[in-house]
């Protein structure tokens, strides 16, 4: 899929796909189907449409791999997980920023903006989850407040994913109830966990500062 996408990008640059211009590519019918509803197909004479759908499938592959790697308690696995999640987030960003406007009429559920938004935020959450688990044992060396900030950022992205997913699943999507529950539960529980961790570590950080400066007592109580 990755190699196919590279060749598609080369074809995009080498040939004229603007059907309104003379000597453009004509008659090349590219068909893709909705991953949630395989019977829902769309055909278009557009290499951009092909790239758009390739990017989605690649992003899902990278994201799925990143999720699995993020659960393995090894630095090498977390590092690879961050890399895969970054690839997925980048591809989804490209879909949203460069290609999405041209394919809003396709009718696919899997490439609707709220779903892409949920996936991208989940990818970012995984990145910061891996980052947190990599440095959590070094909090006194790096600073407890910095570790807390990483946890807070992870919580922020997981919460965004949960909100986007909640909005997306309010409408018919073809996605199974099991998958909906898994995605929303993942987003919600990770958000809750990292928010709790961040607040606990911020409280610990400011509590340590109290030894020299009692002005932070209100902040400690707040956390």
Whether 24 shows a pLDDT value over 60: the answer reads no
Top-confidence residue, 189 or 21? 189
Residue 15: predicted pLDDT: 62
Mean pLDDT of the chain: 84
Report the 3 state secondary structure along 125-161: HHHHHHHHHHHHHHHHHHCHHHHHHHHHHHHHHHHHH
Question: Taking residues 192-220, what's their average pLDDT?
Answer: 75
Query: What DSSP designation does 111 have?
Result: T
Residue 174 exposed, middle or buried by CB count within 10 Å (0-12, 13-18, 19+): middle
Question: Taking residues 27-46, what's their average pLDDT?
Answer: 81
Check: CB of residue 135 under 8 Å from CB of residue 80: no
Top-confidence residue, 26 or 143? 143
Structure tokens at 19: 């059907």
Q: Domain map of the chain by residue range? A: 2-222
Q: What's the CA gap between 21 and 16, in Å, rounded? A: 8
Ranges 41-45, 115-119, 121-125: which has the least confidence: 41-45
Whether 211 shows a pLDDT value over 80: the answer reads no
Continuous segment of H or E residues that includes residue 31: strand 30-33
Q: What's the CA gap between 194 and 188, in Å, rounded? A: 10
Whether 189 shows a pLDDT value over 80: the answer reads yes
Instruction: Convert the pLDDT of each residue in 71-107 to its tens digit.
Output: 999 999 999 999 999 999 999 999 998 877 767 677 7
Q: What's the CA gap between 143 and 131, in Å, rounded? A: 14
Instruction: Give the rounded percent of residues in the chain with a pLDDT score beyond 90.
Output: 46
Q: What's the CA gap between 73 and 45, in Å, rounded? A: 46
> Is 2-222 a CATH 1.10.3720.10 domain?
no
Q: What's the CA gap between 88 and 66, in Å, rounded? A: 9
Top-confidence residue, 60 or 213? 60
Residue 148: predicted pLDDT: 94
């Amino acid at each position: 899929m990755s190699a196919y996408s590279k060749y598609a990008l080369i074809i995009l640059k080498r040939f004229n796909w603007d059907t309104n211009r003379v000597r453009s590519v004509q008659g090349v019918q590219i068909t893709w189907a909705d991953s949630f509803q395989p019977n829902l197909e769309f055909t278009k004479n557009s290499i951009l449409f092909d790239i758009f759908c390739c990017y989605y499938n690649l992003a899902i592959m990278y994201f799925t791999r990143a999720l699995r790697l993020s659960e393995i308690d090894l630095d090498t696995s977390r590092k690879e997980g961050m890399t895969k999640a970054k690839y997925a987030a980048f591809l989804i960003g490209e879909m949203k920023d460069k290609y999405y406007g041209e394919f809003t009429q396709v009718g696919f559920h899997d490439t609707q903006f709220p779903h892409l938004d949920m996936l991208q935020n989940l990818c970012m959450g995984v990145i910061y989850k891996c980052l947190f688990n990599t440095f959590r044992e070094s909090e006194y060396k790096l600073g407890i407040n910095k570790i807390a900030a990483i946890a807070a950022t992870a919580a922020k992205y997981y919460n965004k994913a949960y909100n986007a997913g909640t909005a997306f699943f309010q409408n018919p999507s073809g996605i199974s109830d099991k998958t909906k529950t898994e995605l929303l539960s993942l987003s919600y529980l990770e958000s809750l966990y990292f928010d709790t961790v961040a607040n606990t570590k911020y409280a610990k950080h400011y509590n340590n500062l109290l030894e020299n400066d009692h002005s932070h007592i209100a902040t400690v109580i707040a956390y």
